[in-house]
């Protein structure tokens, strides 16, 4: 079939809103529709009868030629995406950028039932790709904003639950955790111990060396305590130089061992500051949860035992009496 006759056979494809090129068995162009004329600037007269590979280098590649020739032998349609076959037929947009084309080639059977031609259709996906790319950009921006929001939320949660100076949980978080541990201990029949801890003569240290020195000591003290305590223990700053330690599933004897180790670690602490060595000690009160004891009574018994330790000379641990605080040295 000569180019003119071939062209007349496919004129019904001329008005399609996509590029249509028809090739014969020798891969010569025998139809070139109006859309391709508009996209490429090549008129039909310039294209018809010429070899497709000579006109467009991408169509002359061995892989593409092989796929096109296989179509004449009944192979299924071949897809040439713009990802793998950039600009199969170069076509510029008004802004001089190259048009992205998704291409499909398929065999066309003649009256005798044999495949006589291959139709190569090209769909402009530039706008679709641009929208997908914009959607991906928006998605990445949203993901970035979401990560930032989560970081901010985490920071706000930390600010609400952590003591800014020492990094320990604050009083509110400590009391909430203590309430949960009390409920858990009662539910499963576990023991629960609580230590109230106060640094000795801390006001004197602040008055002598200043609040910056005091802050530095508190930060180092918090680190030392965390290293001395067990993984299951929880320490929090209750205010000023007062701290609390929650000891789940711990017997009184076990709690005393941890408390003495903690006192020793604090006693051995030496901080160089402004040419001097600063030291500190602490007083600890230890209470173990009693049946039906309320949180405030539990905390008060540990607190009064701590004051008892101070009255008995500081740098020591004292057990809280059971029941009410009537046996404590500090009156209610």
Active-site residues, by number, are: 241
Report DSSP state, residue 12: G
- What are the residues whose beta carbons fall under 8 Å from the beta carbon of 303, sequence distance 6 or more? 196, 285
Residue 133, burial from CB neighbour count under 10 angstroms (0-12, 13-18, 19+): exposed
Nearest to 174 by CA among 92, 68, 73, 246: 246
285 near 234, Cβ under 8 Å? no
Nearest to 303 by CA among 330, 263, 267: 330
DSSP 64-90: HHHHHHHHTTTPPPEEE-TTTSTTSS-
Bridge-based pairing state of the strands 192-199 and 115-124: unpaired
Give the integer Cα–Cα distance in Å for 51 and 49. 7
């Amino acid at each position: 079939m000569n180019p003119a006759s071939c062209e007349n056979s496919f004129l019904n494809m001329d008005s399609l809103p996509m590029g249509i090129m028809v090739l014969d068995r020798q891969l010569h162009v025998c139809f070139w529709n109006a859309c391709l004329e508009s996209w490429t600037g090549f008129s039909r007269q310039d294209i018809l009868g010429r070899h497709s590979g000579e006109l467009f280098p991408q169509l002359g590649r061995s892989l593409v030629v092989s796929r096109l020739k296989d179509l004449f032998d009944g192979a299924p349609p071949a897809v040439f995406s713009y990802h793998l076959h950039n600009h199969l037929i170069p076509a510029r947009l008004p802004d001089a950028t190259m048009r992205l084309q998704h291409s499909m080639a398929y065999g066309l059977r003649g009256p005798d039932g044999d495949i006589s031609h291959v139709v190569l259709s090209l769909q402009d996906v530039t706008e679709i790709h641009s929208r997908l790319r914009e959607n991906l950009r928006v998605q990445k921006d949203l993901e970035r904003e979401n990560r930032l929001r989560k970081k901010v939320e985490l920071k706000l949660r930390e600010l609400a639950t952590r003591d800014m100076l020492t990094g320990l949980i604050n009083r509110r978080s400590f009391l909430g955790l203590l309430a949960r541990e009390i409920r858990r201990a009662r539910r499963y029949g576990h023991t629960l111990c609580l230590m109230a801890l106060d640094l000795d003569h801390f006001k004197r240290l602040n008055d002598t060396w200043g609040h910056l020195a005091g802050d530095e000591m508190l930060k180092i003290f918090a680190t030392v305590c965390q290293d001395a305590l067990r993984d299951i223990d929880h320490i929090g700053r209750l205010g000023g130089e007062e701290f609390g330690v929650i000891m789940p599933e711990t017997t009184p004897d076990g709690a005393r061992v941890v408390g003495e180790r903690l006192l020793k670690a604090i006693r051995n602490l030496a901080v160089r500051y402004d040419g001097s060595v600063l030291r500190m000690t602490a007083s600890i009160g230890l209470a173990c949860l009693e049946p039906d004891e309320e949180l405030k009574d539990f905390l008060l018994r540990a607190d009064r035992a701590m004051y008892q330790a101070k009255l008995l000379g500081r740098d020591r641990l004292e057990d809280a009496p059971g029941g009410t605080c009537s046996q404590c040295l500090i009156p209610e």
